[in-house]
Amino acid sequence: MSKLNALGGCPSPKDVQPNTIRMTVQVEVPYSNELMNYNDKTLQLFKDFINSDKFTSMGVEAGPAVGRELE
């Protein structure tokens, strides 16, 4: 888990770093042994959800733009 967090894969309580966009996705699904044990099935479920009509909103949090002109 620490390796994933270092890559930015887990939600972080830290401020968003300059020139960075943080996108965090949370999907709640009923418990299934198959989803817990087979990453390919979990990934497919996630992709199917994102591509469905059930995915209706998202939020974006951006860090400060540093060293660039804002348009």
Name the pTM for this structure.
0.50
**Residue 44 CA to its chain's centroid (Å):** 15
Residue 3's pLDDT is what?
Answer: 53
Question: Residue 33's pLDDT is what?
Answer: 93
* pLDDT < 70 regions, the chain: 1-11, 68-71
Break the chain into its structural domains and give their ranges.
15-62
What is the per-residue pLDDT for 10?
60
